[in-house]
Amino acid sequence: MKIETITYKRVKNLGNFQTETMEVTATLEEEDHPEEVADNLKIFVKNQLYPEIPEIPESGIDSF
């Protein structure tokens, strides 16, 4: 079986009965590994729906 495209879709619950949906599709080239492409799509969607919030260091009066 030849896999030509891979699609990944994820739904994020925003609360108050609201959701946000993101779906991405990749077209595979001959040299692509389907498992690797699928993992990359999952990571991409997760990073878009759940971006990392940078940690802000605690600063006090002594830091000046």
Tell me how crowded residue 1 is: count the other CB atoms within 10 A of its CB. 2
CB-based contact 19:31 (threshold 8 Å): no
Note the pLDDT of residue 56. Answer: 80
Mean pLDDT, rounded, for 41-64 = 82
Note the pLDDT of residue 54. Answer: 81
Tens of pLDDT along 14-33? 999 999 999 999 999 999 99
Note the pLDDT of residue 22. Answer: 97
pTM to 2 decimals?
0.76
- Cβ burial 18-50 (10 Å sphere, 16+ → b, else e): eeeeeeeebeeeeeeeeeebeeebeeebeeeee
Mean pLDDT, rounded, for 29-55 = 94
Note the pLDDT of residue 62. Answer: 59
